[in-house]
Amino acid sequence: MSAAEVREERPVRHVVTVGVAIAVLATGCGGLSPSPAPTAARTTVPTAVPGDGGVVSLTFDDGLARQEQMAQELTERGLTGTFYVHSTRTKASGYLDQPKLARLAQAGHEIGGHTRTHARLPELHPDEQRREVCADRSGLEAMGFTPRSFAYPFHAVSAAAESVVRECGYNSGRGRAGAAAERIKPRDPYNLNTPLAVGASTTPAEIQQYVIAAEQRKTWAILVFHDYCDDCGPLGVKPAVFTGFLDWLKGREIPVRTVGDVIGGDVRPVPQIKAPSIVLNASLENYFGKEGIPDCWQLDGRSKTATFGRVAGAHTGRWAGRIQVTGGDPKQLRLAIKQDDGDCAPRAGALSVWYTSTAPVRFTVSRRTGDGVWTPWADGPVFPATTSWRQATWKPPAARAAGVSFGLVLTAPGQATFDDFALR
């Protein structure tokens, strides 16, 4: 089969809006509904791989802005790729926005999921894993995409994470790195094996060898790319290397297919997501951007005299949050659970947090009423300064609430470090 025949055979994918409504309930524990909505659209997509040879998939992680040029290079050569993106970062600087992603999809490229915040799924509570994966997929569907394929950030995968990816409606999960090739009919489609990511130090011969091995062994080479530049870090492939590889690949007989087209299968609906019964991102491990706020949290009052940052030496995990106030009202700097309609704000209960501080701290709490209105912030009990980790707990007076936001604030200028928030 000639390269031209392969390109003509390749199906063109379009953006299709799946009629799946994602309900965020104000009550109930975190998790998934037992079955999908009966009215959800289902589309069967057969595998698009010839049965007599190998296949190559070109995959791109994180939805970085420079990947638009990589997609253009593919399109100009009649090739398509799978772009694993975060639904929450389409409005962030340095990332592909929704109109650009739509143009990629219209050109035949596949848009897949990659969690909301580039989270290491095995390190998270199962409820939070579901929210990272399912909420990300529902966000992509709300933009008009039909995500069938998923990639685990950092290639971090576990049996529990695989189960969540399956529950959230994906047909595959790109997982373990370091293997030269995958079977065209994988033993485990939720842990697809890939070579190490192509980066700044990867040579053209090394990339070509993955393809040659797939041709010879009739296997599936899933190549992983990130950034596109001459000098932007270890994961930035040089443009000359990338385009040279594409020109070489275009002349081969081996077909190039998106991950979704190799796997095939139904386009399945996203199950309903229920309001959490736990504090999400309780250990403050997942951050939006390099200098941002922890995911599912909000920060009020940062200024020249009141600052916030993440620090090592956490109570558990790798990160904790630290506030420092050198002047003015110490309560002006408040790190608290995001006040939303239930995507982050959990149900009310007894409050708990671990802390160290140079000045006393106190709880601050706000409740969401049944009609969606958040009450003014109320003060809770005061806890003393401590140089070692101490747990502060408080059970607020009983009050009917659909959700709760809480945190600790300083009662005097000083510094406090927080970690491991919880409902008890």
DSSP string for 166-217: HHTT-SEEEEEES-S-B-SS-S-TTSEEEPPPP-TT--HHHHHHHHHHHHHH
Domains in the chain and their CATH numbers? 8-267 (3.20.20.370), 297-423 (2.60.120.260)
pLDDT for residue 123 is more than 80: yes
Can you list the pairs that 34-38 forms with residues at least 24 positions away whose Cβ atoms lie under 8 Å? 35/271, 36/169, 36/268, 36/269, 36/270, 36/271, 37/269, 37/272
* pLDDT at residue 398 greater than cutoff 70: yes
Convert the pLDDT of each residue in 287-336 to its tens digit: 876 557 898 899 998 899 999 999 999 999 999 999 999 988 898 899 99
**Percentage of the chain modeled with pLDDT above 90:** 68
Q: What Rg, from alpha-carbon coordinates, does the chain have?
A: 24
Question: How does pLDDT run across 404-418, given as a tens digit for each residue?
Answer: 999 999 999 999 999
306-311, strands of its sheet edge to edge: 306-311, 320-325, 414-423, 351-357, 386-394
- Say whether pLDDT at 53 is over 90: no
Least confident stretch, 22-26, 39-43, 179-183, 298-302: 22-26
Given a contact cutoff of 8 angstroms between Cβ atoms, the answer to whether 192 and 219 are in contact is no
- For 225-257, how does the pLDDT look when each residue is reduced to its tens digit (9 = 90+)? 999 999 999 999 999 999 999 999 999 999 999
Phi, psi of 369 (to 5 degrees): -80, 170
Bigger pLDDT: 42 vs 344? 344
What residue type is 243 in one-letter code?
A: T
**The pTM of the whole model exceeds 0.95:** no
Question: What's the pLDDT at 114?
Answer: 98
Distance CA 261, CA 263 (A): 6
- pLDDT at position 275: 65
Q: What letter represents residue 67's amino acid?
A: Q
Q: What is the dihedral of CA 254, 256, 257, 258, to 10 degrees?
A: 140
Joined tokens for residue 131: 């929210």
pLDDT at 290: 53
- What local confidence, expressed as pLDDT, does residue 45 receive? 53
The CA–CA distances, whole Å, from 27 to 272, 295, 348 equal 13, 21, 10
